[in-house]
Structure 1
Amino acid sequence: MLLSKATEEPDALGMFAQASARLRRVVPFDAAVWRATDPETGILTTPMHGENIDAQGCFEYWETELLAGTVNLYSDLTTAPVPVAGLRDTTGDCPGTSAIYVDFMKPRGLYDELRAVLRVGSRPQGTISLFRTSKAFSRADVEFVNSLVTPLARRLRSYATPAEYAIAAGGPGLLLFDAAGSLVSVNDEARRYLEELPEGGPSTDSRLDLPVPPWLHTIALTARSGPAWIRLRTRGGRWLVCHASPMDEIGGGPQGSAVVLEPAKASDVMPLVADAYELSEREVEVTQHVARGLPTEKIAEHLFLSPHTVRDHIKAIFEKTQVSSRGELVGKLFVEHYRPAGEQTVQAADERRATAGSLS
């Protein structure tokens, strides 16, 4: 099976590389970009895998997409019946109506682009861009890639499951971008956070001797239209949240954007972990009430359910998250992300001993 090797990879970057190599045998292409996205905002995050696309090209692609794009927008594909589309097919073989074609593809000798949003339901987990230098992508190509969308998205979101990792203390990292999208200021905390992140795709150089990955350029550009945010996972397994806001100079002209990186809160991470364990919306609600320490009867009152139904939900949650007690569940979904190194194993064992394993 085409996906079997790819979905066995231990991380998203490895999955992207394997899936791309195998997909090329069935749907030939000359260049490609595989990206992770934040499932709640749909904005590019990390990691990213690129083939035959240079760093400046990545920056120009996203600048054009965000500021002038109108054809096959990723936001539109996220909610479309089929989240895959070819540029020439969509435009009736008139790609000149696409800013991406005119400003990015044509100067590089690229003939067609096939885009896909990797999604489960309406939550985008990632995107794919495949490029050809000749010959348009066919309807059969679209259908084949569409058959991969959900299994790839499911595997991509599964990488958010907790692991044994540490959270180091640290203040917010600050990066400032000017109106041209260039990085002009950065503090030491931001440098440290960026060093901890996995490969984010081909990075551009800055005057501050700091490589700027595509996701950072993208959220800085996105912030020109208003506040934006994403979550990112470091190589060590901890979660960061990235906020970006527009800045105005005196007189009202656009000056650029400010980007802040800082450790994520439990409330920031929980939706991602819930996705990774494939918890339903109702199971997430039950889990949140369990985390507050409410007994079964109180949860039933809050959610207008019978106690028996609540117990069934808790049993299903235990099975999906592979825990045997409420304390272990709370520890796995909320606590483990924020426990200092060395305390995790000991504290988890203490919690299991101190917490009853019943569903009540």
Structure 2
Amino acid sequence: MNREMLRRVRSEIERFGRSDLDWVDFATQATKALNRLVAFDSCRWYTVDPETLSFTGTLAKNMRRANSGSGDEEFPPEDINHWSCHRKPALSGGELRAFCVIDGACWGATVFLRGPDRPDFGEDEVRALTALSEPIADGLRRTLLISSATDATVGDGVPGIVVFGERGGVESISAAAERWIEDMVEVPPPGSPAESTMVTIIAARTRGGAALPARSRVRTRSGRWLSLHGTRLSDRGVAVVIQAAAPHEVAPLIAHAYGLSGCERRIARLCLNGLSTKEIAEALHVSPYTVQDHLKSIFSKTGTRSRTELIGRVFLKYSASPFESLDAPVPARSFF
């Protein structure tokens, strides 16, 4: 492995991650840089909801769209949780797959392919991609922090629904669902709204009863945040509901994107709920000095200087209400 080239590529990817690019532009630039180090003929990128490990966007370079559209041919549901917890990419001849993980959270997945006339990927490529997992993941999570310019005309806030029959085929899709799906980031776009990767994977998880949650939070082209969740129907079919995400659904994702630790997220949640330093300390059974230390770290990571700025410039900016919970209630004994 060319260590000097690895250093240069890592430096480029870190620079792209700080350049206020959206995730498609970041992945496009990262693809060009990576191809100088780990040569490949085509690739596919997925963005990932770090809580549910659902795909939230797709980008293919010199690659046809998968027939199923769900990504299962590259990242089977039974393996996705295992792969996301281990940074070493999966190697299979002319195919190299990896999840991009930082601070224990997965923000993306990549697939690199070589043609049959090219040598297979080897351990050098595996090591190179392993070394770049964190800066790629950091770049992807930073793209979520670009200001949202919401377009109220897309979907008009009306929930959409996609109904799948017992055998997996789409039986009906509402007009609102079609509009929401059209606003999701899939490059190239699906042949029809019913083939959306994000929708079909939620349906597959609902139908198969997978251990992973059948839900996700998706940011659209227009900057809106959507919530997708699956539900079983009485006739053995399943439905995927698509609707504007509630503030309490978006806030934890933004906190993750800023790299807040579990302790910091809990303190931020209590700050948003209006608790004083003393009240937070009592709720978490720690000293006020410990709370203050965590607040300093929260301000540093979010680029703010006060609680007011934290609420206004960070969470309200992403439509997160100060009256909504940043996370599910956590017992005080779990603080550390």
After TM superposition, the structure 1 = structure 2 runs for residues 244-259 of structure 1, keeping only pairs within 5 Å, are 244-249=230-235, 254-255=236-237, 257-259=238-240
- 2:56–2:219 contact (8 Å) kept in structure 1: no
For 2:196 and 2:109, locate their aligned partners in 1 and report how far apart those are by CA, in whole Å: 16
- 1:157–1:272 contact (8 Å) kept in structure 2: no
Q: Which amino acid aligns with 2:305?
A: S
For 1:60 and 1:289, locate their aligned partners in 2 and report how far apart those are by CA, in whole Å: 38
2:63 corresponds in structure 1 to 53
1:317 corresponds in structure 2 to 298
Match of 2:257 among 266, 272, 276: 276
The CA deviation string for residues 51-90 of structure 1, in whole angstroms up to 9 with x for no partner, is 23222446375258547x7xxx33222122x3312024xx
The CA deviation string for residues 127-155 of structure 1, in whole angstroms up to 9 with x for no partner, is 01111223221111100011110011011
For 1:237 and 1:205, locate their aligned partners in 2 and report how far apart those are by CA, in whole Å: 23
TM-score (norm 2): 0.81
Residues paired across the two proteins, number = 301
Q: Does 1:2 align with 2:32?
A: no
For 1:283 and 1:50, locate their aligned partners in 2 and report how far apart those are by CA, in whole Å: 36
Q: Does 1:113 align with 2:95?
A: yes
- Residues 1:9 and 1:22: Cα distance change in structure 2 (over 3 Å): farther
CA positional deviation for 1:187: 1.7
CA positional deviation for 1:243: 0.5
1:127 corresponds in structure 2 to 109
When the two chains are superposed, the root-mean-square deviation of aligned CA atoms in Å is 2.4
Match of 1:151 among 128, 135, 143: 135
- 2:43–2:110 contact (8 Å) kept in structure 1: yes
1:224 corresponds in structure 2 to 207
For 1:144 and 1:212, locate their aligned partners in 2 and report how far apart those are by CA, in whole Å: 34
- 2:103–2:259 contact (8 Å) kept in structure 1: no
2:85 corresponds in structure 1 to 79
CA positional deviation for 1:285: 0.9
CA positional deviation for 1:211: 6.4
CA positional deviation for 1:188: 2.4
1:218 match: secondary structure: helix
Q: Which amino acid aligns with 1:287?
A: A
The CA deviation string for residues 157-190 of structure 1, in whole angstroms up to 9 with x for no partner, is 1122262533745231111123454333122221
For 1:238 and 1:60, locate their aligned partners in 2 and report how far apart those are by CA, in whole Å: 22
CA positional deviation for 1:337: 2.7
- Residues 1:263 and 1:10: Cα distance change in structure 2 (over 3 Å): same
For 2:165 and 2:84, locate their aligned partners in 1 and report how far apart those are by CA, in whole Å: 30
1:62 corresponds in structure 2 to 72
After TM superposition, the structure 1 = structure 2 runs for residues 1-360 of structure 1, keeping only pairs within 5 Å, are 1-3=8-10, 4=12, 6-7=16-17, 8=19, 10-46=21-57, 48-57=58-67, 59=69, 62=72, 66=76, 73-80=79-86, 82-88=87-93, 112-134=94-116, 135-161=119-145, 163-166=147-150, 168=152, 170-198=157-185, 200-206=186-192, 210=193, 212-226=195-209, 228-249=214-235, 254-255=236-237, 257-338=238-319
- 2:71–2:201 contact (8 Å) kept in structure 1: no
- 1:66–1:222 contact (8 Å) kept in structure 2: no
- Larger radius of gyration between Structure 1 and Structure 2: 1
1:288 match: secondary structure: helix
Q: Which amino acid aligns with 1:229?
A: R
Q: Which amino acid aligns with 2:287?
A: S
Structure 1 stretches of 4+ moved >4 Å:
none
Q: Percent identity?
A: 31
The CA deviation string for residues 324-360 of structure 1, in whole angstroms up to 9 with x for no partner, is 3322212334333338xxxxxxxxxxxxxxxxxxxxx
- 2:254–2:315 contact (8 Å) kept in structure 1: no
